[in-house]
Amino acid sequence: MATVVPNPSLSGTCAWDTRDNKFNGGSVASLKTPTPTIDNLYGRTCEGPFFTVSGTRRPPTGTIAGGLPVDAFDHDGQTMTNIAISATCGSITATPVSCDNIIVWDPNKPEYTMEIGTASTTYSPSTLVSGVAYTVLSVGSPCNNVKFATTGYGWNGETVIGTSVKVNNSTPVKCTDNNNNCSNLVVSPKPAVGDVIIIEDAEHMGTMKCDSW
């Protein structure tokens, strides 16, 4: 009697190595999760795993180790959909692992932007994400000082100390004394339009605003 063996399958997940599933158009998307493995081989010769987009292998040769070529940017709101990781064993295609849609980003456009308002006006974004590079689009007036105000749970030295703000490639301004400067950290040098700001803190977010003093 012939032995019936199960079809090959893939085990694993697909998560992109980027924030918000955004990749510049024309770049290469890579995974932050381990490469899925092919199970139930039973002596079969298999090819893959590899990426597919709408059922078509991309790139036509190679495996996911080389990444997924991202479509060239064409318009705002552009996405790549129906992305999966698959493999073939002879004439059998393993059940694919689905991947999130990719947002195709304009490589000439800042991914994250910031408008620094005055203390008496609304400023955008209302919360800044740790580790993200923001390009400054506007700075309110008057603006003698720019402050970063930490937000989050448990405003105390243990949880807030360590927050730092870096403008361009300058030395980060770091909060070292919760009683004096952690809730309103003066950013130096003062950011200007076109500067890039990064807030470095694992636990806290915050807002950026101008003060006139």
Render pLDDT for 142-168 as a digit per residue (tens, 0 to 9).
888 888 876 654 444 445 667 788 899
Q: Is the pTM of this model over 0.85?
A: no
Please classify residue 61 by burial: count the beta carbons closer than 10 Å to its beta carbon, then call 0-12 exposed, 13-18 middle and 19+ buried. Answer: exposed
The pLDDT score that the predictor gives to residue 5 is 72
Could you give the CA distance from residue 115 to residue 167 in angstroms, rounded to a whole number? Answer: 14
